[in-house]
Structure 1
Amino acid sequence: MSQAPDHTRKFSSIVHDGPSRAGARSMLRPVGFTEDDFKKPVIGIASLWSMVTPCNMHIDKLALDAEAGANAAGGKAIIFGTITVSDGISMGTPGMRYSLVSREVIADSIETVSGGEGFDGIVTIGGCDKNMPGCIMALARLNRPGVFVYGGTILPGIHPQSKKECDVVSVYEAIGQHAAGKVDDAGLATIEGCAIPGPGSCGGMYTANTMASAIEALGMSLPNSSAQIAISADKKEDCRRAGEATVALLKANIKPRDIMTRKAFENAITVTIALGGSTNAVLHLLAMAHSANVKLSIDDFTKIGKRVPVLADLKPSGKYGMVHLTRIGGLPPLMKVLLDAGLLHGDCITVTGKTIAENLRDVKPYPVDQDVVRPMSNPIKRDSHLRILYGNLAPEGAVAKISGKEGLTFSGKAIVFEGEEAALDAILKGRVKAGHVIVIRNEGPVGGPGMREMLSPTSAIMGRGLGKDVALITDGRFSGGSHGFVVGHITPEAATGGPIGIIKNGDPITIDAEKNELTLGLPAKELKARMKAWKPKKPKETRGTLAKYAKLVTSASEGAVTDKYL
């Protein structure tokens, strides 16, 4: 009943063709297949729709646009769902332990459905932070033609009194201001009520926008997918074109690993730095590269960062939100600047079927009167804000986001907390003072388990006006909304015997973002004695998802992946 299979139906033909597959065809007819559809390549549309978070609440409708595009191009689309965990909602609670874990669950579920159902190509549409790397990891593992679509950025909230723009980080910083007596109950309620006006991902150069931009630079999204407003005609058209592009990639036999090369990952790192992106990009790009069988290490961020400046004046450290970048032309003009400066590999193939250089050939520059993105001659910072630190506190590395506004070095006395909640309580109650280096430990991938983000403590620090007076180090990680003198991803983590586990209150700690060092100022003899006396804590979880994750996960310096040793 079906034509002989060709390369565009490599997987669906196994599921659909021949008399023995009548049962499968019978089950597909009620979900919309006609006789002719069994002759078409099947395109899975992975929709990360959920009412869990505004980041994803509109994606069900975007999935319909991607479906229409794939069908119009000669494919047969099937929409399916997967999970998400809202970082902004779970932040500062035990639920945040599931956030990074969700990246693995998303990748596993897309791989599972696509592999099980015999999809020939895949469109993935994601919104909240872990959606992006999870989708790309699945596409890399499957290595079937596919496109990632970003659900888009949220519009900023407008404060009814000040008329200033605000977002979710404004709320978290207002919590610290409230604790310091700078904002009253009514003021906190006002900003809580206006900061999130509708659908879309958090509006600064936080993790979602960082990873969407990195994926576009990687070549796995259509041009400007990363810099579109969630509720816009442009985003609907982006989805439709993604469906079409996936069918075109099938016909051209261009697969994700053809696109996700070592050079492509270098492009992604370059764009992340130029945008002043999130520290989470280090963790996620390492994991994505692992799934694509590309060798990438934390040291590559240092090598590339020496020659790439920060050009975009974007939140959290900067002035503007993602919507402002969208309004002046999005990401392509910045990529054109970087390409012309010799900082991008223009010969990398992309999901358009064309190279980066070909995609950027006719891109117009930003308007001359804008100050969202600076020229190469006047950067915000002449080298990377993402610093990979080593030293006796981080023998296997740590990641800092140092914009330079905080200074480039910090020395202070440790104040140690076994977990995020204790640290946040101390900050809000005023026990953290100028000159302290806050140490939050047992929050790593194993110790958490799950490697929570520390947006609540860092926002509280800012809200209390201590941004330049204290530092914070952790074996956990940071939200893309965090800023200040912060160092995360310290490896080895405390739970696996890392030196962060032996710090005591009052110990001298130095963070040096010029020498890229993180140092505990104690004699080697004392360090050795403390390490010898250290004993591991009992696992916090012994059953279920978190226990499985803790058992399988690698260190943050290797991307915190769960399939390396299988």
Structure 2
Amino acid sequence: MSDDSKPGLRSQQWFGGKGPKGFVHRSWVRSRGVPGDHFDGRPVIGICNTWSELTPCNSHFRELAQHVREGILEAGGVPMEFPVTSPGETLTRPTAMLLRNLCSMDVEETLRANPIDGVVLMMGCDKTTPALLMGAASVNLPAIGVSAGPMLNGSWRGKPFGIRDAWHLGDDVRGGRATLADVEEAESCINRSHGVCNVMGTASTMAAIVEALGLSLPNNATIPAVDARRKVLARLTGRRIVEMVREGQTMDRVLTRQAFENAVRVNAAIGGSTNAVIHLTAVARRMEVPLDITDWDELARDIPTLLNIQPSGSYLMQDFHEAGGLPVIIRDLCEAGLLHGDAITATGKSLAENNAAARCLNPDVIWSVARPFKSHSGIAVLKGNLCPQGAVIKPSAADPRLLRHRGPAVVFADQEDLLTRVDDPALEITADSVMVLKNCGPRGFPGMPELGMMPIPAKLLAAGVKDIVRISDARMSGTSFGAVVLHVSPEAAAGGALAVVRDGDMIELDVAARRLDLLIPAAELEQRLADWHAPAPKAGRGYVKLYVDTVNQAHDGCDLDFLVGMTGSEVPANQH
């Protein structure tokens, strides 16, 4: 072992040099059967793994991590795998969003506290991707992502079956057009393999954003989870992170303002999840890159939707990959001058270079800028007296006739009130009404659950109503659809105007004008807010109290206020 402690490698602060300086650190790691030359200036690469049987989307990560490990070893690095909190969308209660920031803290503190020179972020289910990006961004080491990949296409009764189809089936049961036996039969047909949802939900949206940011190898977003090519990608990612460490390519060299602008525009082109607004904003805040909610509208307003995939279209994620995947969309946008093609990526090449050879193999799945699938972008940002700090809607997934609408409010005080009354035959509601849900924001629920796509009342479903304007301070699943206004900010629990909406109040939505207004006199609104009293806090101890006391509003990314920004990788040395 050389006496040279290789000062360029962070891990050498632990392992470098002869004698007692590194004795304790080296000797304990040797208990795993590590050879001595692994301490002699080789980059130590963390494999940040969100594997968990409680997170089904990520349940194949044990095997996938082995392929990352092989790539690291092949490139001359030293792999060290570690677990972090794994908030799974399907099982976590009350909502996985509550644990996103906790996971980010886990990632940040683990990276900073340990002898790690670079990290491979293994992320899949919705909140694991932003959480790992946020935590790693605050430390700012070289980092690259490997996503879970989508599950195989579902198939039921001889037809493709995706999450959107499952939502429709649920409505059909409530509307008397399907039975519980149908649901039980479909249950085993939709999730046919490991991987994230097989539509452009939040998980695949965030994987696409990682690729658009340049923080992964090309095709990371769409290769199916069980496809052998994902294992190859994992192995190549392991090789590349070792090179990134040697090149000193830290996250701030990739996650520039240009990279974030590219991600916003790609999200519009794929009809991505509204959750991306909150998550990408939070990552930008950690990187100290300016990104405002209004940027989502200004940057993406003229970007057409190019992808015919559920919930905005018809196809599923496997079809997207087989049609050429995200590289086709990135190449087309670059050639049209709609992306910063010169943005540097984790490969060391530019975004345009990475995707120059992409070819569309099915133009009914992947359309083009010259011939778009839909002319309007995936997300619109609304302002008005009901949401002075912003709200979002996904026009590509809504009934076009409802994008300009005026109707009377039907108000639900919270989730319990909604579930109790929504199917009550006595509920006074018509297809022209506007459903309003309060107290489901980051502080009010707490944790901002995916309740924004409120169920259409059963009596309206029975009458053939398929969409209705819905407004809340909640989120909705990326697999959801409809004329749903989300992320109303400030939220009701923070004293926003949503808190004082009453049954019968007229509300006007005008997506083209980017407006959402409560049609009452300004003086009356001011008086209602003055008479409003904040609800009692939902938690008195533990992490949930910390969350409620410090969480930012939706337009600021719902991060904890004291986590915003970069702290870096320096940590005081111990006394060994």
Measured in 1, the distance between the counterparts of 2:445 and 2:314 equals 33
Partner of 1:81: 83
Correspondence for 1:557 among 555, 558, 573? 555
Q: Distance in 1 between matches of 2:90 and 2:524?
A: 41
How many angstroms apart in 1 are the aligned matches of 2:23 and 2:518? 68
Deviation at 1:481, TM superposition (A): 1.1
Structure 2 distance, partners of 1:192, 1:89, is 16
Match of 2:379 among 379, 383, 386: 386
1:52 and 1:517 map into 2 onto residues whose CA distance is: 40
2:471 aligned partner: 473
1:235 aligns with 2:237: no
Aligned twin of 1:55: 57
Match of 2:572 in 1: none
- What are structure 2's unaligned runs of at least 5 residues? 565-576
- Conserved 8 A contact 1:45-1:123: yes
Q: Secondary structure at the match of 1:158?
A: strand
Q: Provide the identity percentage.
A: 35
Aligned to 1:334: 329
Paired letter, 2:58: N
Shifted more, 147-156 versus 77-86: the winner is: 77-86
Residue 313 and residue 128 in structure 1: after superposition, are their counterparts in 2 closer, same or farther (change >3 A)? same
Q: Helix, strand or coil for the counterpart of 1:263?
A: helix
Residue 10 of structure 1 corresponds to which residue in structure 2? 10
Whether the 8 Å contact between 1:312 and 1:374 is mirrored in structure 2 is yes
Deviation at 1:453, TM superposition (A): 0.7
The yes-or-no answer on 1:427 pairing with 2:422 is yes
Deviation at 1:460, TM superposition (A): 7.5
Matched, 1:137 2:134: yes
Residue 295 of structure 1: aligned partner: 290
Separation in 1, partners of 2:89, 2:417 = 19
What is the identity, as a one-letter code, of the residue corresponding to 2:9? R
Q: 1:333 and 1:469, CA in 2 relative to 1: closer, same or farther beyond 3 A?
A: closer
Between stretches 342-351 and 456-465, larger displacement belongs to: 456-465
Q: Is the 8 A contact 2:98 2:447 kept in 1?
A: yes
Question: Which sits farther off after the overlay, 250-259 or 432-441?
Answer: 432-441
When the two structures are superposed, what TM-score results if normalisation uses the length of structure 1?
A: 0.94
Whole-angstrom CA distance in 2 between matches of 1:8 and 1:73: 18
Q: Confirm or deny: 8 A CA contact 1:424 1:456 kept in the other structure.
A: no
Q: 1:484 aligns with which of 478, 482, 485?
A: 482
Per the TM alignment, residue 71 of structure 1 is displaced from its structure 2 partner at its CA by: 1.1
SS class of match (1:395): coil
Q: What is the Cα deviation at residue 35 of structure 1?
A: 0.4
1:117 aligned partner: 114
Q: Does 1:406 align with 2:400?
A: yes
- Tell me the residue number matched to 1:315: 310
TM-aligned CA distance change 1:265 to 1:490, over 3 Å: same
- Aligned counterpart for 1:65 among listed residues 64, 67, 82: 67
Structure 1 partner of 2:103: 106
Give secondary structure in 1 for the equivalent of 2:181.
helix
Structure 2 vs 1, CA of residues 8 and 190 (structure 1 numbering), >3 Å: closer, same or farther? farther
Q: Which digits, 9 at most, give the CA deviation of each residue in 1:165-196, with x for residues without a partner?
A: 22344334322221211111211211122211
Q: Which amino acid in structure 1 is aligned with residue 341 of structure 2?
A: G
Letter in 2 for 1:406: P
Q: Any idea what SS the aligned residue of 2:62 has? A: helix
- Aligned to 1:537, the other structure's residue is in SS state coil
Would the aligned equivalents of 2:453 and 2:484 in 1 still touch at CA under 8 Å?
A: no
CA contact (8 A) 1:140 1:291 kept: yes
Distance 2:507 2:464 in 1: 18
Asked whether the equivalents of residues 174 and 463 of structure 1 are also in contact (C-alpha less than 8 Å), the reply is no
- Give the SS at the match of 2:38: helix
Say if 1:557 and 1:467 are closer, same or farther in 2 by CA, change over 3 A.
farther
Per the alignment, residue 530 of structure 1 pairs with 528
Contact 2:452 2:485 in 1 (8 A): no
SS in 2 for 1:449: coil
Quick one: structure 1 residues 115 and 335, their matched pair in 2 at CA, closer, same or farther if it must change by over 3 Å? same
More moved, 271-280 vs 299-308: 299-308
Residue 278 of structure 1 aligns with an amino acid whose one-letter code is: S
1:348-359 matched pairs, under 5 angstroms: 348-359=343-354
- Cα 1:116–1:564 change in 2 (3 A) is closer
Give the deviation of 1:3 after TM superposition.
Answer: 4.7
Distance 1:479 1:17 in 2: 51
Q: CA deviation at 1:347?
A: 1.1
For the 8 Å contact 1:348–1:355, the answer to whether it is kept is: yes
- Cα deviation for residue 124 of structure 1 reads 0.8
- Report the Cα distance in structure 2 between the residues aligned to 1:54 and 1:197, rounded to whole angstroms: 12
Partner SS, residue 472 of structure 1: strand
State the alpha-carbon separation in 2 of the partners of residues 56 and 189 from structure 1: 24
**Number of the residue aligned with 2:567:** none
| RMSD of equivalent CA atoms | 2.0
Residue 198 of structure 1 and its aligned partner are, at CA, apart by 2.0
**1:449 touches 1:547 (CA, 8 Å); kept in 2?**
no
Contact 2:68 2:237 in 1 (8 A): yes
Alpha-carbon deviations, 1:55-74, whole Å to 9, x = none?
Answer: 01101110111011111100
**CA deviation profile, 1:502-544 (whole Å, cap 9, x unmatched):** 0011111111100001111111222122111111010111112
Deviates more, 1:374-383 or 1:45-54: 374-383
The whole-number CA distance in structure 2 between the counterparts of 1:5 and 1:540 is: 51
The question of whether the paired residues in 2 share the 8 Å contact of 1:176 and 1:428 is answered with: no
Candidates 442, 449, 453, aligned match of 2:450? 453
**Where does residue 172 of structure 2 map in the other structure?**
177
Q: 1:422: Cα distance to partner?
A: 2.8
The CA distance in 1 between the partners of 2:464 and 2:446, in whole Å, is 29
1:38 and 2:39 equivalent?
yes
> What is aligned with 1:284?
279
Contact kept, 8 Å, 1:349 with 1:355, in 2: the verdict is yes
Give the Å deviation of 1:106: 2.0
| Aligned partners of 1:273 and 1:384 also within 8 Å | yes
User: How many angstroms does 1:125 deviate by?
Assistant: 0.7
Number of paired residues?
Answer: 557
Mapped partners of 2:67, 2:370: distance in 1: 41
2:390 counterpart SS class: strand
Q: Which residue of 2 aligns with 1:365?
A: 359
Aligned-pair distance for 1:467?
Answer: 6.0
Contact 2:111 2:136 in 1 (8 A): no
Could you tell me how far 1:139 is from its partner in structure 2?
2.1
Q: Which residue of 2 aligns with 1:504?
A: 502
TM-score for both structures, normalised by structure 2: 0.93
